[in-house]
């Protein structure tokens, strides 16, 4: 697929939405891109010298599909034109430091006074509760503050830097969900609202289940064997690595059949579902390691997947950019960029099959559309605000019911997010599955659980009864799994034409791998993320957080909100989908590109500590810190303060490291912040688990669970002024609400008893 500047706009779900973006660097522009890809009309307002990120090749990705208007907001004329643009907008995006927009006269209070339907989304570095509220929110600084650089480096006790803008990306993902939810709320109420998604806050959504901590329950890992042996990287005969996965018995059978080791199956199967001693785990790890050295990585990938198992070569990003599935699944697309020519970029993140989005055009040149846009303002009156609607509403998805058929993390995160925005989410749990409370607690709060065996006729009959009152169905199986049960979109749509049916999986729903099984680890492995972290000459390494799972869950919620907005306008439902490998491309956006003449010198490997001497991890006398100089002036000021002004660039990192090692972190924070340098301690989860700022903001909460007692888990992070997200009830245990939900659906007490006796619907003891 190749797009160019003259492509016609699609009929995307946001075709009626006009956006003015005062964005720069990554978060604001990426949010604008996500909206533009779904049909929104996005005007990018830039300073006369342009967005500073124009120097980066990925600017072409973050700003595709937009029109550029250059305005000097330091002048009366520039500010007046900015306000005129906003008066014609449905959505305004900005990622200035707090207070800057207000000083320029384009803050929420100023713009909404005469425009009550305006949706205004801010993406600052820090939230109102944070002591660094007024400081710039640089990605690597926030990553250091939120545990993304753990001490797992080459020596095992040094922090491992990762150059991906995870904080900015998650702020943009949460921002897209929040904007789409606010659009739905406005569909009902006629009123806009203010949204704030700070980068620091967004990182707590990325952490997800890593926050889970049982305070008085002795957790026994029932998945010890598959976590240690089945979910593991293995080096192969050609020196390349694969990541192999499979948390259930059938995956062991499939892998060992592919390997010609069927005699091992009876030894392996009893190890699932119970704790296993370290000697046994080590024995099987070694046995599998020797087995994988018998074939090449590419052969293992083919052989195991042919049996239905889960395995992928740990590829470089270069390999994935030209891979047949990435191309066929439109995870990689080609755009005719104004500066770089034909350029590979990440594809459209979510697929709405009834109102498909598309890349509308290439990224604009600076000020390319200034004259035309301003002339159109002069020629046409301001766009009217939405109608009065129904007045105040409690939540964006008030009255929406969701059936959640999902497992693991990504799909349930979609359902959890819909619940946070007010939907009634019914979790349909499978009585044949083993419950892992760690992941379940995190992604199923706010839901009610019914346990149904959908492999029985009686269980499917209950499902169809629940469909009668459902608005949304979410599932994350392989492409045809629900179809084989007769519960796929085509079957549901026949009896419920306005249903919104969301499907999430590992490799997307287009291309030759759409039927393959997959997890977070495989998405990281196949897309280049593991090689980036471990280095091309080393063993592949996972990201510290399940960023593809949680990112895909957010994108699923975004797709559902878009489809609900379309249904609000037309009454039509549709199917929507996305996948972990699609999210992996967006998470790597600074590097997920290629064009003629591009020189790939990406930062990768366990020895990397930062971008350069002026932005990297350093060891102080009392621990590791991250130091970031935003510009040459700050860098020279820092060198002067250290007595190294004029030092050769090749020696700068060594010189700075020697100086920083002489004093503690707080000393350097006090000494260097006046120079315009950001300095922060490199923290771990335990450093901020009980931080009063984190706790008061509700990013980590402690609640009593009826089965597992006191548990730490994640909270909500986006802030919406009119329809704020809600935490919801603690995660249920499997089937906790079975009888309650059946009764609501009209089943009598006798019918409920019969369903439970048959095993089709179960209410187990906690």
Q: What is the CATH number of the domain that holds 660?
A: 3.30.1540.10
Token couple for 754? 């019969």
Assess whether pLDDT exceeds 70 at residue 8. Answer: no
> Which CATH number goes with the domain that contains 101?
3.40.50.10540
The pTM of this model reads 0.97
Least confident of 34-38, 244-248, 704-708, 759-763: 759-763
Counting Cα atoms < 13 Å in the Cβ hemisphere of 740 gives 10
Q: What is the DSSP letter of 263?
A: G
Average pLDDT over residues 451-463: 96
Instruction: Identify whether the C-beta of residue 620 lies closer than 8 Å to the C-beta of residue 681.
Output: no
Predicted confidence at residue 6, as pLDDT, reads: 37
Q: Identify the sign of the CA torsion 121, 127, 132, 134.
A: positive
Assess whether pLDDT exceeds 90 at residue 642. Answer: yes
Residue 738 lies in a domain: no
Assess whether pLDDT exceeds 90 at residue 7. Answer: no
Predicted confidence at residue 220, as pLDDT, reads: 87
Assess whether pLDDT exceeds 70 at residue 59. Answer: yes
Predicted confidence at residue 690, as pLDDT, reads: 94
Residue 179 lies in a domain: yes
Residue 100 lies in a domain: yes
CB atoms within 10 A of CB 270: 11
Residue identified by tokens 């008030």 is 398
Q: Nearest-CA neighbor of 384 among 118, 201, 565? A: 118
Return d(Cα 208, Cα 206) in angstroms, integer.
6
CA 68 to chain centre: 27
Predicted confidence at residue 765, as pLDDT, reads: 72
**How far is the CA of 112 from the CAs of 190, 192, 522, in angstroms?**
13, 8, 45
**How far is the CA of 37 from the CAs of 322, 350, 482, in angstroms?**
22, 9, 28
Q: Nearest-CA neighbor of 616 among 670, 647, 644, 654? A: 654
Predicted confidence at residue 9, as pLDDT, reads: 42
Predicted confidence at residue 766, as pLDDT, reads: 72
Q: Is 45 left (phi over 0), alpha (psi -120 to 50) or beta?
A: beta
Residue 287 lies in a domain: no
For residue 386, name the pLDDT band (cuts at 50, 70, 90). Answer: low
Predicted confidence at residue 762, as pLDDT, reads: 84
Q: What are phi and psi of 273, to 5 degrees?
A: 80, 15
Average pLDDT over residues 721-749: 96
Residue 561 lies in a domain: no
Counting Cα atoms < 13 Å in the Cβ hemisphere of 765 gives 0
Assess whether pLDDT exceeds 70 at residue 626. Answer: yes
Return d(Cα 170, Cα 528) in angstroms, integer.
19
Per residue in 535-554, pLDDT tens? 999 999 999 999 999 999 99
Predicted confidence at residue 131, as pLDDT, reads: 96
Token couple for 400? 């929406």
Least confident of 430-434, 440-444, 623-627: 430-434
**Which of 651, 686, 721 represents a domain boundary (last residue)?**
686
- What is the 3-state secondary structure of 416-456? HHHHHCCCEEEEEECCCCCCCHHHHHHHCCCEEEEEECCCC
Helical packing angle, 457-467 and 749-758, nearest 10°: 140
Assess whether pLDDT exceeds 90 at residue 435. Answer: no
Pairing type for strands 193-196 and 574-579 reads: unpaired
Assess whether pLDDT exceeds 70 at residue 599. Answer: yes
Residues in the chain: 766
**How far is the CA of 45 from the CAs of 53, 82, 558, in angstroms?**
14, 8, 25
Predicted confidence at residue 729, as pLDDT, reads: 97
Per residue in 295-335, pLDDT tens? 999 999 999 999 999 999 999 999 999 999 999 999 999 99
Residue identified by tokens 């643009």 is 85
Coil, strand, or helix at residue 504? strand
Residue identified by tokens 């929406």 is 400
How deeply is 184 buried, as exposed, middle or buried, from its count of CB atoms within 10 A (0-12, 13-18, 19+)?
buried
Return d(Cα 113, Cα 90) in angstroms, integer.
14
Return d(Cα 420, Cα 423) in angstroms, integer.
7
Per residue in 63-90, pLDDT tens? 999 999 999 999 999 999 999 999 999 9
Average pLDDT over residues 200-220: 96
Return d(Cα 349, Cα 358) in angstroms, integer.
10
Rg (CA), the chain: 26
Q: What are phi and psi of 513, to 5 degrees?
A: -95, 10
Return d(Cα 413, Cα 554) in angstroms, integer.
7
Predicted confidence at residue 215, as pLDDT, reads: 96
Element (H, E) at 703: strand 700-705
Average pLDDT over residues 152-176: 90
For residue 757, name the pLDDT band (cuts at 50, 70, 90). Answer: very high
Q: What is the DSSP letter of 151?
A: B
Residue 439 lies in a domain: no
For residue 419, name the pLDDT band (cuts at 50, 70, 90). Answer: very high
**Which of 389, 422, 452 represents a domain boundary (last residue)?**
389
Residue 84 lies in a domain: yes
Sheet holding 41-46, edge to edge: 66-70, 41-46, 18-22, 91-94, 119-122, 193-196, 719-720
Return d(Cα 193, Cα 100) in angstroms, integer.
19
Predicted confidence at residue 1, as pLDDT, reads: 40
**Which are the contacts of 36, defined by CB distance < 8 A and separation ≥ 6?**
19, 42, 64, 65, 66, 360
**How far is the CA of 634 from the CAs of 56, 131, 596, 639, in angstroms?**
21, 22, 35, 9
CB atoms within 10 A of CB 205: 27
Full domain range(s) for residue 191: 2-209+366-389
Assess whether pLDDT exceeds 90 at residue 728. Answer: yes
- What is the 3-state secondary structure of 619-677? EECCEEEEEECCCHHHHHHHHHHHCCCCCCHHHHHHHHHHHHCCCCHHHHHHHHHHHCC
Pairing type for strands 332-337 and 341-346 reads: antiparallel
Instruction: Identify whether the C-beta of residue 678 lies closer than 8 Å to the C-beta of residue 199.
Output: no
Percentages helix, strand, coil for the chain, rounded to the nearest 5?
40, 15, 45
Structurally, the chain folds into a number of domains equal to 2
Q: What is the DSSP letter of 159?
A: B
- What is the 3-state secondary structure of 712-751? EEECCCCEECCCCCCCCCCCCCCCCCHHHHHHHCCCCHHH
Predicted confidence at residue 2, as pLDDT, reads: 46
Residue 143 lies in a domain: yes
Q: Nearest-CA neighbor of 204 among 247, 146, 163? A: 146
- What is the 3-state secondary structure of 12-39? CCCCCCEEEEECCCCHHHHHHHHHHCCC
Return d(Cα 678, Cα 658) in angstroms, integer.
19
Average pLDDT over residues 343-366: 98
Q: What is the mean pLDDT of the chain?
A: 95
């Amino acid at each position: 697929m190749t797009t160019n500047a003259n492509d016609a706009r699609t009929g995307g779900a946001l075709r009626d939405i006009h956006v003015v973006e005062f964005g720069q660097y990554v978060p604001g522009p990426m949010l604008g891109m996500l909206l533009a890809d779904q049909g929104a009309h996005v005007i990018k307002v830039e300073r006369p010298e342009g967005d500073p990120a124009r120097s980066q090749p990925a600017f072409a990705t973050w700003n595709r599909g937009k029109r550029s208007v250059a305005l000097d907001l330091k002048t009366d004329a520039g500010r007046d034109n900015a306000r005129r643009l906003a008066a014609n907008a449905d959505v305004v995006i900005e990622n200035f430091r707090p207070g800057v927009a207000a000083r320029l006269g384009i803050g929420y209070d100023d713009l909404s006074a005469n425009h009550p339907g305006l949706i205004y989304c801010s993406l600052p570095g820090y939230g109102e509760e944070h002591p660094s509220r007024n400081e710039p929110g640089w990605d690597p600084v926030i990553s250091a503050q939120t545990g993304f650089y753990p001490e797992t480096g080459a020596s095992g006790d040094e922090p491992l830097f990762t150059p991906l803008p995870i904080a900015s990306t998650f702020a943009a993902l949460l921002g897209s969900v929040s904007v789409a939810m606010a659009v739905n709320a406005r569909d009902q109420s006629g009123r806009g609202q203010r949204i704030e998604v700070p980068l620091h806050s967004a990182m707590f959504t990325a952490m997800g289940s890593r926050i889970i901590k049982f305070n008085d329950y002795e957790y026994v890992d029932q998945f010890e064997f598959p976590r240690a042996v089945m979910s593991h990287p293995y080096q192969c005969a050609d020196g390349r690595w694969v990541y192999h996965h499979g948390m259930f018995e059938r995956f062991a059978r499939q892998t060992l059949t592919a390997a010609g080791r069927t005699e091992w199956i009876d030894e392996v199967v009893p190890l699932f579902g119970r704790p296993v001693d370290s000697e046994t785990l080590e024995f099987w790890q070694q046995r599998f390691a020797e087995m994988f050295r018998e074939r090449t990585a590419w052969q293992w990938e083919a052989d195991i997947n042919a049996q239905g198992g889960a395995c992928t070569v740990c590829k470089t990003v270069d390999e994935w950019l030209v891979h047949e599935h990435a191309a066929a699944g439109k995870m990689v697309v080609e755009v005719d960029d104004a500066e770089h020519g034909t350029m590979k970029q990440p594809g459209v993140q979510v697929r709405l099959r009834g109102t498909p989005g598309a890349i509308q055009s290439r990224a604009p040149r600076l000020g390319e559309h200034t004259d035309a846009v301003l002339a159109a303002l002069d020629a046409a009156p301001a766009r009217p605000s939405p109608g009065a609607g129904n007045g105040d509403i409690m939540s964006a998805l008030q009255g929406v019911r969701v059936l959640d058929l999902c497992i693991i993390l990504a799909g349930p995160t979609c359902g959890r997010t819909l619940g946070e925005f007010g939907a009634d989410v019914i979790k349909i749990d499978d009585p044949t599955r083993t419950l892992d409370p760690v992941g379940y607690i995190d992604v199923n709060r706010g839901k009610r659980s019914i346990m149904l065996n959908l492999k029985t006729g009686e269980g499917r009959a209950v499902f169809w009864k629940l469909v009668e009152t459902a608005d949304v169905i979410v599932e994350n199986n392989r492409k045809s799994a629900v179809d084989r049960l007769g519960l796929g979109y085509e079957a549901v749509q026949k009896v419920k034409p306005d249903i919104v049916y969301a499907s999430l999986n590992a490799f997307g729903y287009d291309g030759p791998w759409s039927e393959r099984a997959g997890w977070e680890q495989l998405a990281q492995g196949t897309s280049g993320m593991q090689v980036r972290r471990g280095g091309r000459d080393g063993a592949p390494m996972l990201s510290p957080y399940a960023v593809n799972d949680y990112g895909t869950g957010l994108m699923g919620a975004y797709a559902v909100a878009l489809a609900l907005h379309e249904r609000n306008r037309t009454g039509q439902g549709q199917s929507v989908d996305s996948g972990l490998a699609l999210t992996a491309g967006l998470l790597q956006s600074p590097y997920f590109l290629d064009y003629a003449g591009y020189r790939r010198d990406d930062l990768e490997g366990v020895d990397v500590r930062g971008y350069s001497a002026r932005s990297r991890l350093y060891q102080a006398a009392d621990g590791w810190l991250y130091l970031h100089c935003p510009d040459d002036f700050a860098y020279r000021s820092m060198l002067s303060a250290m007595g190294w002004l004029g030092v050769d660039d090749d020696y700068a990192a060594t010189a700075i490291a020697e100086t920083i090692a002489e004093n503690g972190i707080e000393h350097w924070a006090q000494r260097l912040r006046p120079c315009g340098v950001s300095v922060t301690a490199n923290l771990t989860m335990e450093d901020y688990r009980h931080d009063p700022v984190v706790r008061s903001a509700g990013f980590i909460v402690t609640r009593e669970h009826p089965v597992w007692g006191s548990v730490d888990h994640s909270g909500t992070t986006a802030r919406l002024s009119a329809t704020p997200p809600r935490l919801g009830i603690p995660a249920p245990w499997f089937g906790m609400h079975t009888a309650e939900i059946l009764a609501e659906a009209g089943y009598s007490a006798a019918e409920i008893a019969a369903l439970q006796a048959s095993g089709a619907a179960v209410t187990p003891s906690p």
